[in-house]
Each structure stands twice: as C-alpha cells, then as structure tokens.
Structure 1
Amino acid sequence: MTTTISLAPVPSTVFPFTALVGHDTLQLALLLAAVDPGMGGVLISGPRGTAKSTSARALAALLPEAPFVTLPLAASLEQLVGTLNLEDVLRDGQVRLAPGLVARAHGGVLYVDEVNLLPDALVDALLDVAASGVNTVARDGVSHQHAARFVLVGTMNPEEGELRPQLLDRFGLSVALANPTHPAVRQAIVRARLAFEMDPEAVVAQHAAAQAGLAQSLARARAALAGLVWTDEVVQHAAQRALDAGVDGIRADLVMLRAARALAALEQRSSVRLQDVDAVAELALAHRRTEDAAAGSVPPSAATPPASSARGPAPAGGQGAAASAQNAPEGDWGALPPEPQAMARVRSTGAWPPKKA
C-alpha cells in the first residue's frame, strides 16, 4: 500500500502564529516545546475545528527552514524510523539507511493527527525518539544511529477513542481545548480566519514584524537554555506540585523543571523562579493528575515520608508489612500477613481518560 507523506518547508502563506486568537495556553505550550523539544512534545486534545493542525503548522513557520512532516495513520514502523538496506552489502559492501519520517523531521515539527488511533507500538517508538533526539535503526544485527530532534505535536479528539495511560504519561505537555463559548471570542476567531482566507499575503505581511520578533526570541531561548540551572528551592517546589497531583513516577517533575527553564529562557531571564514552575505546572500535570489529588486527599506516596533511620522504614503495615512478611524466615510469628491496598484512580477532566485501577 502506498502512503502519501507530507514533507515540505512551511510556505509563507501559513496562518501566522501571532494571529491565533483565543489559544494563549496552547501557544505557550508549543513555544516551550520548541525551546526544549526533549520534553516529549505537546499533546493537544479537543473537538474538531479548534485550530489544532493550524497551530502546529504555524509553529513550524517560526523555526528557520523547518520541515513540517505529517505522520499518516497508515504509516508502518519502517516508514517512521527508517530501515537499513542490507542488500547493498552484497553489491558494494556498504549498508545504506533508508531514512524514515523522524529523520526527515529533524530540526522541524512532526505532526501526528489522531494519535490515539495509531498502533501503540508506533506511538511508543515515536515518543522514544522525541524524548532522546536520537533514532536507532536496527536490522539483522546491524544498527545505525542518527540525530532526530524535532518538536512533536500530537492531536486527538477524545470522542474518537482514548490513548493508553502509559503513552499519555510520556507526552511532556498537554493542552485540552474546548469550543469557544464567549460570543466575542468566536467573532474574533471568525474575523481572523475570514481575513486570512480572503487575502493570506496581507495577513502574513501584517504579522511579519511580530513573527520575526518571536522567531528571534525562540532562537535566543534555545541558545541560552543550557546556561540556566535550577535552585534547590525550585526543585523542591516542582516535587511538591507533583506530589499534590498524585502523579505516578517522576516524569512530571522533570517536565515541569524543563518547561520552567524554557519559559525563563524565552523571557530572557538568567534564573528559573518558583513562579515559572507554577506557570507551566498545569501543562505538565493535567494529563497525569489523579482523582484523589483532585478531591483534596493525599496519595499514599505523599502521606508517608521517607524514614530518617538508617534501618529504613518500620514495617508497621501496608506494603512495608507485606515486604516484611515475604522476607521473614519460616516460623517468624512476628510477621504480619500481606494486606490489600487500594489504588488511586485518575480524575477525569473531560478530555483525558482516567487511568484504570
């Protein structure tokens, strides 16, 4: 089956990023991901007609000579990551790489529409490359690595299916869009779109100065990113925000810190502040927050602080008691039997599916 692949520099008549109306949160998330693509990209959830693809194309137009690559739903794993042509070894003794979409998206934007409808294996491989910036192609014991640093933008309509929680968690930032309900906002969006459709060159020219300034800010932020560090206070604040949200693992902490650093770089500051963490926290936590945290209860991991004793936490009950019982020698009547533990469920926000208990 032949699959059409969209691969071309973004034309100048793409809807300008600075002309987007009513999408301040989405614009912030996309800019942060552009400053630091290693965060894992942005997952945009929302109904049809909420400018998801328009925003992704507009972001690519801000990056210098950036390709905009679309991953088709019918793409195979080989089309995504590439493959090695070992038959060339027999002819001239060289192994040649047939590059995939991740190689062609290097330096630009890889757009995945309806990511929730893709096979899990394809999404898993895509997220691996997006987070590491390196793609490894292997075949018959031979492997090849190449750079694949791009801004990953995935979109989904929750009405068309869910994304597995394990994959949902691996997206760095998330934004849930909704249909605009305020008449003034709807009118502004319609006017902006009609103006672009009637005379796209005029709209592009109108926003040329703002676009150029934002592109320069992105370039400066990327260059300054490595020089910004986090203080202990900032790290502790991010950890507390993650604990309050009852998230699994530490990916939320890492994403919050990287996003806060990207925000500081974008605003041309020399240090990361607590306010930066707060400004980006919801982008990192919205698709990871649990029901218990939303209800105001403290998750088990946060309720029990680590013991300061060198002997470790005392097996007073719960998981500690279960571990003590398993490790105790036979005939140790002081051991307690394992006890079932309740699992925290994820609160449904209306856009992100709850994690299954």
Structure 2
Amino acid sequence: MSDLLHFPLSAVVGSDELKLALYLAAIDPAIGGVLIEGPRGMAKSTLARGIADLLAEATFVTLPLGASEERIVGTLDLDAALGEGRVRFSPGVLAKAHGGVLYVDEVNLLPDHLVDLLLDVAASGVNQVERDGVSHRHPARFVLIGTMNPEEGELRPQLLDRFGLKVRQDGQPQPAERAEIVRRRLAFDADPHAFIAQWGDEQQALARRCQDARARLPGIPLDDAALDDIAQRCFAAGVDGLRADLVWLRAARAHAAWRGAERIETEDIDAVEDFALAHRRTHRPPPAAQPPQAPPAASQSQASGGEGQWGELPAQAVPMGERRELPRWPKKP
C-alpha cells in the first residue's frame, strides 16, 4: 500500500535549498524548471513527488526511459482528419503532466532533441503537434524537474542554460540528520497512513502557503529597480545571454510571493542568486585597467633597503690599496 502513497514533503529532513527551489518553480512554472545535480540516494524523486502534492491537480508524471518523441508529445490520427474532417489527438506525456509535475530522471542521458523539446514546452506552457499539414495545440503547463549525475555525462551548455534553476546536492548529511531520515522512512514504510496523518497539519499548511503564493504572484511587479540590480550581478558574473536575467527576476518575484510580500526586495534577489547562476556563471571579471609596470631593478633594491632579488647580494664599496705596476714582459731581442 505504501507504493500508492507519497512520503509527505513536510516530513523530509534537510535539503532546504532544494526544497526552496522546487517551491519557487511550483509557484511560477514559467521559471523553466529545476535541474538537480547530485549522486543517487539523495531523495530527489521523493521531493519531486512531494511538490506535486502541493498543487491543485496533484499530478505526478515520470518520463519513461526510452520514450519516443510521439509518446512524449502525443499523436495525430490522419485517417480521422481526412475521413471525418476533424483532428483526433491521442495525448502524450506532456498532456498528462498538465497542471502537475513532470519528472525526468537522468535527463542528461536523453537525446538532445528530446531535452530541447521538453524545455520548449516547459517555458511556453503549450504543446503543438504537427504532422503532414495537420496540427493540434493544447496547454501543457507543468513543473519540470530533471535530475542528473555528472559522473554519467554532462548536458550540452545550450541545454543546461535553458533550465531555469539548478541545485547541486553534493554534501553528506550529518550523522544525527542521517539517523532521523532513516527513522522517518522506517515509520512511513511500517504504517504510511499513520505517518501521513501525523504530518497532516504541517502538510496542509505547506500546501496553503504554496497556493497563496501562486495567487499573490501576478500582483507583484517585475520592477526596474530589481531588474537593474540583477543585470549588474549577471554582468559581474560574466553570464552569457539574457536568460539568466529573466529567470532570476521571475524567481525573485516567486520568492517574494513565498514570503507573503507585495514587492521584490534585496533579500529575494539574494535568496535565488545561486539557483540562477549555478549553471551560468563563467567567473569572467569585467575588464580592468592594466597594472603599472614594475620599477627598474635598481629602484627596487633601493626601495627594499638595499635588498634585491632573492639570492642577490647588495653592492659594497671595496677599498683600493696602493697602485701596483704589473710586471711587463721582456721585449724581444
């Protein structure tokens, strides 16, 4: 029976940064999804399922391994279109994920064109299927959550940049935290219903906060002051392109909604900086003036109190004695 029930997100120990990034993506799916980088066994799928429970539809769809493009986007029945004069559409994974969470495990192992397709739909919220001049469009607004283990391959930079936020999980929990994680998991496996009931109040409060933030989001302006601050920071981080600016601004607004605020503040911009720049920062400093040339060696020796380069002895005066004539060779006869 535990397979039919989800471990409540409110009972997850630790992973505070990852949970915050997922909350923001749930508040505003237009952020473009969350990429989670880290080894296996870090409760990534548990957190993704927990986010689905906070949404009104509570839909959680996992992209099947080896799924074809048709299975993802859906198919069109051309015979029905020609014979009946109407489009008969068989929904795919994207249609089923509408209003919920689409979870893609090991997204870095998918073919590039499928990753590109998923990111397109996640950003636009619309899936369009075309075949032989026949097309069909349907809404596909979902929270895209992808995971990857860098030891099994990297995503191309062009695809990596298109994920809205990125969180890197590379730290091990402390011993006390590890033990508490195991205790809660054992309690859930032993009696899922009792465990869920135990965390019911916290879970409901979390769901209400997420729903309230989604309702508050449209009323929070994407103001110029926040955008100017973000643009300066993106420039200082050497970010290529402008996607980081837009994603960062949207995430900061979602964070303000999560706090219950009515406008973006500096704390909102600070809170999501790492999420927006983790996969975009190049660490290229802005151009700086060339340093002045070093003074001549003699000046360096004088400035350092007579000490020149390492191993070099300072010049010393040598006293001159009486002048002595050097012997001359006898002339040839």
What band does the TM-score fall into relative to the shorter chain?
0.7 to 0.9
Local SS of the residue matching 1:136: strand
Deviation at 1:178, TM superposition (A): 2.0
Cα pair 1:60 1:108 within 8 Å, conserved = yes
Structure 2 CA distance, aligned partners of 1:40 and 1:90? 37
Aligned to 2:199: 207
- 1:166 maps to a residue whose letter is Q
Matched, 1:218 2:172: no
- 1:55 maps to a residue whose letter is L
Aligned to 1:229: 221
Structure 2 CA distance, aligned partners of 1:201 and 1:132? 38
Give 5+ residue unaligned stretches, structure 1. 1-9, 305-357
Aligned to 1:109: 101
- 2:208 maps to a residue whose letter is Q
Structure 2 CA distance, aligned partners of 1:233 and 1:159? 40
Local SS of the residue matching 2:273: helix
Cα pair 1:50 1:179 within 8 Å, conserved = no
* CA spacing shift, 1:67–1:11, aligned 2, 3 Å: farther
Cα pair 1:12 1:204 within 8 Å, conserved = no
2:57 to 65, 88, 102: 65
- 2:74 maps to a residue whose letter is G
Matched, 1:23 2:15: yes
Aligned to 2:128: 136
Cα pair 1:110 1:150 within 8 Å, conserved = yes
Instruction: Report percent identity of matched pairs.
Output: 61
Matched, 1:189 2:190: no
- 1:161 maps to a residue whose letter is G
Aligned to 1:345: none
Compare 264-273 and 84-93 and name the one that shifted more: 84-93
Matched, 1:272 2:264: yes
2:277 to 271, 276, 285: 285
Cα pair 1:11 1:61 within 8 Å, conserved = no
1:158 to 147, 150, 173: 150
1:253 to 224, 228, 245: 245
Cα pair 1:16 1:58 within 8 Å, conserved = yes
Deviation at 1:65, TM superposition (A): 3.0
Paired residues, what number? Answer: 288
Deviation at 1:90, TM superposition (A): 3.5
Cα pair 2:167 2:275 within 8 Å, conserved = yes
Deviation at 1:188, TM superposition (A): 2.0
- 1:209 maps to a residue whose letter is D
Aligned to 1:120: 112
- 1:196 maps to a residue whose letter is F
Structure 2 CA distance, aligned partners of 1:230 and 1:125? 28
What per-residue deviation string (whole Å, max 9, x for no partner) do you get for residues 182-215 of structure 1?
Answer: 2122222222222212222222111111111111
- 2:114 maps to a residue whose letter is L
Cα pair 1:73 1:117 within 8 Å, conserved = no
Deviation at 1:145, TM superposition (A): 1.1
- TM-score, normalised relative to structure 1: 0.77
Local SS of the residue matching 1:163: coil
2:47 to 51, 55, 60: 55
Deviation at 1:66, TM superposition (A): 2.0
2:5 to 7, 13, 19: 13
Deviation at 1:233, TM superposition (A): 1.8
What per-residue deviation string (whole Å, max 9, x for no partner) do you get for residues 81-127 of structure 1?
Answer: 11211111343221211111111100000000000000000000000
* CA spacing shift, 1:11–1:238, aligned 2, 3 Å: farther
| Alignment RMSD (CA, Å) | 1.7
Deviation at 1:12, TM superposition (A): 7.0
Deviation at 1:40, TM superposition (A): 0.6
- 2:266 maps to a residue whose letter is L
Structure 2 CA distance, aligned partners of 1:189 and 1:200? 15
- 2:111 maps to a residue whose letter is P
Cα pair 2:87 2:136 within 8 Å, conserved = no
1:147 to 139, 156, 161: 139
Local SS of the residue matching 2:130: strand
Cα pair 2:107 2:148 within 8 Å, conserved = yes
Local SS of the residue matching 2:89: strand
Matched, 1:32 2:24: yes
Structure 2 CA distance, aligned partners of 1:62 and 1:181? 25
* CA spacing shift, 1:71–1:12, aligned 2, 3 Å: closer
- 1:283 maps to a residue whose letter is F
Over alpha carbons, which structure has the higher Rg? 2
Matched, 1:244 2:244: no
Deviation at 1:11, TM superposition (A): 8.0
Structure 2 CA distance, aligned partners of 1:139 and 1:133? 20
What per-residue deviation string (whole Å, max 9, x for no partner) do you get for residues 17-74 of structure 1?
Answer: 1111110001000000000001110000110100011110111112123211111221
Local SS of the residue matching 1:143: strand
Local SS of the residue matching 2:272: helix
